[in-house]
Structure 1
Amino acid sequence: MTKQAAVLGSPISHSLSPTLHQAAYAALGLDWVYTAIEVKESDLAAFVANLDNSWVGLSLTMPLKEIAFEVANEVDDVARKVRSINTLLRIESGWRGTNTDVFGIVQALAGVHVVEGLASAVVLGAGATARSAIAALSQLNAKHVKIAARRPEQVQGLIALAGEFGLRAQSLSWEPEAGALDADVVISTLPGDAGAGWAQIAQHATGALLDAAYHPWPTPLAAHWPNARIASGRDMLIWQAAEQVRLMTGFPAPVQAMRASLPVSSD
């Protein structure tokens, strides 16, 4: 029986996940199939219930990362804390929910030499990716995090989450001010041009940047960043997919083959 996996979401036609996973299967010599399937929140439970035993795993993108808690029989601690499931793995009792976005962020940061023990970090945004960023920073033993988002109540939610992970965190004004991006790393989870205002104060930044956006690239923030220590959402995507491949197949992911499968630019 051919094993199957897929990425689910809505919209989904833009997803690069099938390219990444199929490249991994080819490199590993696995005759597996990975597709992209349009699934809305209201349809997820029925879709999952109808999958046969050939299905080994599902990747989830928006808007399914929170509703997935309703179909998961088990959920790991990190996914529960960040309230985001991006991976469902077949288990004997049904499905286990986990989150590989956190792994993807940690590995993307490692690529720009952000490693354990950083003194300071800034997180821009307060959605699911920002929550995963907080978890990633906790794994890197960040000592202090500043958080900026459009809505103050979202910032307070992230500060509380940081506390759950043992991180010291405080709010940062949503209005960009000189020096606001002074940190060992800045993680922007803002969509597209939403970081344009922050780009205007980026010229004095001295740390690394992880901009979770990747289409179009560069974002205004990345274009104005004053050094080459820049990781993109594309790097995150590769690494979170690599961890999904490992979890679904049981084999180490062929990261280089996966990276090489993507077009030179996703603009």
Structure 2
Amino acid sequence: MTRQAAVLGHPIAHSLSPLLHAAAYEHLGLDADYRRIDVEESSLQEFLRGEGAAPGWLGWSVTMPLKAAMVSAVDHPSARVTALGVLNTVVHGPAGTPEGARMLSGENTDVDGIVAALGEAGLHQASSSSRGSFGIIGAGATATAALAAASELGYTQVRSYARSVQRGLELEPVAAALGLRLSVAQLSGLPHDLAGTDELPATHDLSAIHDLDTGRGNSGQLDAVVSTLPPRAADEIAATLPRLDRPIPLLDVAYDPWPSLLASSWEAGGGRVVSGLVMLLHQAVKQVELFSAATSTPAGELSAESHAQMVAKMRRAIGL
């Protein structure tokens, strides 16, 4: 029987996930049909009781506006999902689950995508003696994944740059659950922090840890920035970015159009830039590993050479 998988969300016609998954399943020799299914938040329960309850599913990729709404629908959210309150992956199984029964596991592979994308831009595990701060632009579902990525990369201090400081404050419970110290600034404060000047912008420090805002020191430096804003939403600050004194990596999760104004200005100022397409690739690689784990050809058990070939095929499928 052909196994089924899909990306769920609304709107969904633009999703590149089918290209990524099709390339992976072809490499694995896995008979799987991956498609787009338009599901609005208001119709999620209808989908879960109907088409989503049919047998033969490997799993679902989950995009907006379902990332938070789907959490309550899974039987086993991962520790990561529990901390973040959002997911992007639902796995069906395991194999051998009695007919008519359904067990759903939730994961957030956006975190894996962010970590891997920043790795391609030169950012790797931070040591306690060298790490500064991790910057995040925006305060939505992807920003929470960026918080988890910061934690997994060894950072303890994160600075959120939000168009609304009040919205940025909503990240505080997630940061606390991850053991991160979070400070929030207006988006307009990012150029100031990149320049490393002494005059301080308006900020709200949630943890009373003032080294992010006072002495620049090591902890005041931004080691990396992830922009989680929608396409063109960061255009307003692109023209205000300073010349960087070191090649700070930027992951801009918005990839259409590409390069974004933010990415172009960042690179012109001496920074390293990585596209959201790279994040999309790597989060899909992890999804494929999870979806195929209980099949006869699990991607997670491929040889290093074969796994690299699979990733290369997925990369080419989206023009990277």
1:220 equivalent in structure 2: 261
Unaligned 5+ runs, structure 2: 195-220, 294-298, 301-306
Q: Distance in 1 between matches of 2:235 and 2:193?
A: 14
Asked if structure 1 preserves the Cα contact closer than 8 Å seen for 2:21 and 2:288, the reply is yes
Unaligned 5+ runs, structure 1: none
Structure 1 residue 24: deviation in Å?
0.4
Name the % identity: 39
Asked if structure 2 preserves the Cα contact closer than 8 Å seen for 1:89 and 1:248, the reply is yes
1:262 corresponds to 2:305: no
1:65 corresponds to 2:67: yes
1:102 corresponds to 2:111: yes
CA-atom RMSD in angstroms: 1.6
Q: What amino acid does structure 1 have at the position aligned with 2:227?
A: S
Asked if structure 2 preserves the Cα contact closer than 8 Å seen for 1:176 and 1:201, the reply is no
Q: Distance in 2 between matches of 1:98 and 1:143?
A: 23
User: Counterparts of 1:36-115 in structure 2 under 5 Å?
Assistant: 36-50=36-50, 51-91=53-93, 92=97, 93-115=102-124
Q: Secondary structure at the match of 1:109?
A: helix
1:167 equivalent in structure 2: 180
Match of 2:150 among 137, 141, 157: 137
CA 1:171–1:228 in 2, change beyond 3 Å: closer, same or farther?
closer
1:191 equivalent in structure 2: 230
1:125 corresponds to 2:149: no
**Could you give the per-residue CA deviations for residues 38-91 of structure 1, whole angstroms, max 9, x where no partner exists?**
111122222223332211100111111111023211211111211111111113
Q: Distance in 2 between matches of 1:178 and 1:260?
A: 35
Q: Secondary structure at the match of 2:5?
A: strand
2:283 equivalent in structure 1: 240
1:154 corresponds to 2:167: yes
**Could you give the per-residue CA deviations for residues 176-219 of structure 1, whole angstroms, max 9, x where no partner exists?**
46432351101111112211232123332331101110001111
Q: Secondary structure at the match of 2:170?
A: helix
TM-score (norm 1): 0.93
Q: Distance in 1 between matches of 2:78 and 2:119?
A: 24
CA 1:2–1:97 in 2, change beyond 3 Å: closer, same or farther?
same
**Could you give the per-residue CA deviations for residues 86-133 of structure 1, whole angstroms, max 9, x where no partner exists?**
111113452111111011101111111111113222111000000100
Q: What amino acid does structure 2 have at the position aligned with 1:184?
A: D
Q: If you compute each CA radius of gyration, which structure gives the higher value, 1 or 2?
A: 2
CA 1:67–1:160 in 2, change beyond 3 Å: closer, same or farther?
closer
2:213 equivalent in structure 1: none
Q: Distance in 1 between matches of 2:92 and 2:191?
A: 49
Query: How many aligned residue pairs are there?
Result: 264
Structure 1 residue 220: deviation in Å?
1.0
